[in-house]
Amino acid sequence: MPTTLVDSHCHLDFPDFAGEIPALVGRAAAAGVGRMVTICTRLALEPGVRAIAEAHEPVFYAAGTHPMYAHEEPLATVEALTALAAHPKFVGIGETGLDYHYTAESAAIQTESLRIHIEAARRTELPLIIHARDADADMARILREEHGAGAFSCVMHCFTSSAELAETALGLGFYLSISGIATFRTAGALRDIFAAAPRDRLLVETDSPYLAPLPHRGRRNEPAFVADTARAMAATLGLEPDEFAVLTSGNFDRLFSKAAA
């Protein structure tokens, strides 16, 4: 695999990777993964995530309040999020979104937080990074409402939702990100969604340390394993692995233009 792949979403600040980040970055490069975006999920932890990006040339970062933590954290402000954008390696807003699988009881504060992040994405012209789980109808409605009020760019990270939400997102000009889940034998319907999507709207990610693709399923995930997801999806799309790498890297550069090589 050529060194053109991008892991568009990982969590290098998580304890799973403590003391191991230089080795992780090295293994990623050996696997053909030349860049990665590490995602801060609680704004109080942003300084540590920023430090990882500053210390490692291939690493960029984004920050926001994950929807599962929205009820536990101080509500983000548009001003605080936009201030982060001054950093040269800060490339996206989020992750934010809606999660009704684990935290449906906090739907109201999740929605308020999501709308704040959307406004920050508008003002900074950086892409919004969306987490959506078991909240398709509300997510589609909010994205349509907010995009109608003022355009913004967006990636549906680790997309595992319905074809209907994919259609809404793609219709708004958004991107879908493919995780290791797409390699699972039971994920045929999900692979069909990606195969039907415009090829210029696809990204690839690990969401590491979670969701390791085959043949690593059940192990801790890491950025190097995005190469395994890429090989599997290249076959699904009828592409050679290097073609898929160039395709998704180009898509990443267009969406995350601040991190373009």
- Domain of residue 196 covers 5-259
What pLDDT, on the 0 to 100 scale, is given for residue 3? 62
pLDDT at 1 exceeding the cut of 60: no
pTM above 0.85, yes or no: yes
Tell me, what's the pLDDT at 96? Answer: 98
Contacts of 155 (CB under 8 A, 6+ apart): 8, 92, 127, 128, 129, 130, 174, 175, 176, 177, 203, 255
Please answer whether residues 105 and 72 qualify as being in contact, where contact means their C-beta atoms are separated by less than 8 angstroms.
no
> Token digits for 131?
């987490």
Residue 261 has pLDDT above 70, yes or no: no
Which domain CATH number covers 183? 3.20.20.140
- 92-128 burial, b if ≥16 CB within 10 A, otherwise e? bbbbbbbbbeebeebbebbbebbbbbbbbbbbbebbb
Nearest CA among 167, 225, 168, 201 for reference residue 5: 225
Helices 226-237, 188-196: axis angle to 10 degrees equals 70
> What pLDDT digit, counting tens, does each position of 214-239 carry?
999 999 999 999 999 999 999 999 99
**Three-state SS at 149:** helix
Q: What is the mean pLDDT of the chain?
A: 97
Which tokens in the block code for residue 82?
């936009």
- The mean pLDDT value for 49-63 works out to 98
Q: Round to whole Å and give the CA distance between 181 and 77.
A: 33
pLDDT tens digits, one per residue of 95-124:
999 999 999 999 999 999 999 999 999 999
pLDDT band, very low/low/confident/very high, at 60 (cuts 50, 70, 90): very high
> What is residue 207's DSSP assignment?
-
Give the count of domains, the chain: 1
What is the rounded average pLDDT of the residues 43-52?
A: 98
SS3 63: strand
Predicted confidence at residue 2, as pLDDT, reads: 54
Residue keyed to tokens 């308020």: 112
72 DSSP assignment: T
Question: Within 10 Å of residue 75's Cβ, how many Cβ atoms?
Answer: 13
d(CA 256, CA 261): 10
Confidence (pLDDT) at 120: 98
Instruction: Give pLDDT tens digits for 132-156.
Output: 999 999 999 999 999 999 999 999 9
pLDDT value at position 44?
Answer: 97
d(CA 60, CA 259): 7
